[in-house]
């Protein structure tokens, strides 16, 4: 039978496995993308700007620590978060970083400086406009992420397809574009494109999880699965 010290050492060493897996910028970004929807290695590599070999290495580290899991489908292996708690940890890391690391605010401010439509939109006003249908909400993430979960009534218009579909957008209503959250740049590029073509567009820093926490309806394949999981836990 283990003594007190042996027990505590063993437990905290196990917790440390998670910490070691997360102490990498690329791996945190990989997890952020996988929170949106499951991915194959090659698709994930393109999303995070890494080689397939490098992405595969990071995924194996995350898999060994049980943070992600994989499933073979035909000739492809699909990766996803192993547990909803992984997304909770990501948000906790982000919140702690925002509170304690002033560099995050500085770098973000420099990136957004001078870009029109990037000002912080009043949250209550934005929610009211969305709920009342007083604006067009564009989800500019890739289609598979939209299918997994999205804000109800949001229109899927992936960034790479945006310019080809501008004629479908009304010019007499404001447009709100969102993507994966406050540090995703897809909505930034989308708003710049829309404003360049004369649309009244702003960026919402919220992602799907933030919309859900604000009380707005989120629908889609993974959203339904999350509701079932929540009910089963009660």
Residue-level pLDDT at 230 = 46
Kindly report the average pLDDT of the chain as a whole number: 91
Instruction: Give the pLDDT score at 1.
Output: 60
Residue 166: inside a domain: yes
pLDDT of 133-147, one tens digit each? 899 999 999 999 999
Task: Say if 96 falls within a structural domain.
Answer: no
**What is the domain range of residue 138?**
116-233
Same domain, 127 and 50: no
Q: CA-to-CA distance for 44 and 231, rounded, in angstroms?
A: 31
Report the CATH number that the domain containing residue 59 is assigned in CATH.
Answer: 1.10.10.10
Total structural domains within the chain: 2
228 or 181, which is more confident: 181
Looking at the structure, tell me whether residues 125 and 219 fall in a common domain.
Answer: yes
Query: Sign of the CA dihedral 186, 189, 195, 196?
Result: negative
Encode pLDDT of 81-107 as tens digits. Answer: 999 999 999 999 999 999 999 999 999
d(CA 156, CA 138): 6
Note the pLDDT of residue 228: 41
Active site residues: 179
If asked whether residues 166 and 216 sit together in one domain, one would say yes
pLDDT bracket for residue 227 (50, 70, 90) = low
CATH code for the domain in which residue 146 is found: 3.40.250.10
pLDDT at site 223: 66
Q: What residues contact 113, with CB distance under 8 A and at least 6 apart? A: none
Flag whether 91 is in a domain. Answer: no
Q: Report if pTM > 0.85.
A: yes
Considering the domain architecture, whether residues 120 and 212 belong to the same structural domain is answered as yes
Residues 165 and 218 in one domain: yes
């Amino acid at each position: 039978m283990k003594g007190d010290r042996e027990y505590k050492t063993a437990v905290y060493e196990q917790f440390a496995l998670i910490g070691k897996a997360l102490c990498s910028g690329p791996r945190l970004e990989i997890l952020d993308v996988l929170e949106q929807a499951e991915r194959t290695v090659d698709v994930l590599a393109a999303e995070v700007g890494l080689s397939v070999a490098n992405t595969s290495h990071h995924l194996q580290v995350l898999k060994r620590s049980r943070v992600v899991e994989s499933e073979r489908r035909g000739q492809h292996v699909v990766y996803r978060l192993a547990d909803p708690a992984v997304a909770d940890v990501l948000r906790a890391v982000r919140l702690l970083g925002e509170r304690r690391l002033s560099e995050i605010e500085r770098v973000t401010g420099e990136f957004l400086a001078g870009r029109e439509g990037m000002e912080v939109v009043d949250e209550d006003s934005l929610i009211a406009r969305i709920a009342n249908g007083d604006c067009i909400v564009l989800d500019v993430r890739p289609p598979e992420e939209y299918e997994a979960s999205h804000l109800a009534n949001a229109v899927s218009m992936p960034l790479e397809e945006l310019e080809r579909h501008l004629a479908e957008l009304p010019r007499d209503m404001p447009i709100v574009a969102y993507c994966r959250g406050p540090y995703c740049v897809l909505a930034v590029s989308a708003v710049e494109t829309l404003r360049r073509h004369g649309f009244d567009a702003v960026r919402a820093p919220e992602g799907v999880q933030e919309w859900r926490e604000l009380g707005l309806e989120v629908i889609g394949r993974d959203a339904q699965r999350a509701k079932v999981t929540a009910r089963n836990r009660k």
